[in-house]
Chain A
Amino acid sequence: DQQVKQNSPSLSVQEGRISILNCDYTNSMFDYFLWYKKYPAEGPTFLISISSIKDKNEDGRFTVFLNKSAKHLSLHIVPSQPGDSAVYFCATLHSGTYKYIFGTGTRLKVLA
């Protein structure tokens, strides 16, 4: 029973264009959302987060959007760079618990 889903296992984007990664969740009690980036043979690295009181958070080339009514989260990377090629995981947290739940990941390939 997957509470956090990333329905696109992979995505290819041309360098300089926008990358959009999507994530859906089922539990309306989740109130903190995160994106992680993972390179091979390394641990996931925290990228950006958003709390449920916001609908957008921006950090440089990375913007996370939250649509609570649709239970949908997205990560926009613009402009995309070859170094952004990695697996991206979305994650959620129900505050009051310590349980971070992860999606299955989307492999992003940015083509030079």
Chain B
Amino acid sequence: DTAVSQTPKYLVTQMGNDKSIKCEQNLGHDTMYWYKQDSKKFLKIMFSYNNKELIINETVPNRFSPKSPDKAHLNLHINSLELGDSAVYFCASSQGTANSPLHFGNGTRLTVT
């Protein structure tokens, strides 16, 4: 019974394609996130949704579009993939209250060729 699950675990695709990564959490959390871990292993926040509303958008190219159909799901759609999009993408969730930790999924390794 995984708390934060994301699919697929691996994604290999060509430049110019459109792809989606799905994320679901069963923790009852109100807030969900997408983080990107690049080749330098730096975990950078991309987006955050609280109760299906976008609350953080960290100057990510608009080829990246998050979608939250309900507060348990936050999917990431990427259009016109570029080589520089290759990274590991982590979904996370939190209660959204003061001093509540993030809980992460196991990541999706995206490779753009």
Contact = CB atoms under 8 A, between A and B. Distances in A.
Interface of A: 32, 34, 36, 41-46, 49, 51, 87, 89, 91, 93, 95, 97-102, 104-105
B50 A98 contact: yes
A93 B105 CA distance: 19
29 contacts: A32-B98, A34-B102, A41-B106, A43-B4, A43-B90, A43-B92, A43-B105, A44-B43, A44-B104, A45-B104, A46-B101, A46-B102, A49-B101, A51-B99, A95-B99, A97-B56, A98-B33, A98-B48, A98-B50, A98-B55, A98-B56, A98-B96, A99-B48, A99-B56, A100-B33, A100-B94, A100-B102, A102-B35, A102-B44
Interface in B60-113: 90, 92, 94, 96, 98-99, 101-107
Contacts of A97: 56
Contacts of B101: 34, 46, 49
Contacts, number: 58
A99 B47 CA distance: 9
B45 interface: yes
Interface residues of B, number: 27
A91 B44 CA distance: 11
A98 B31 contact: yes
Nearest to B50: A98
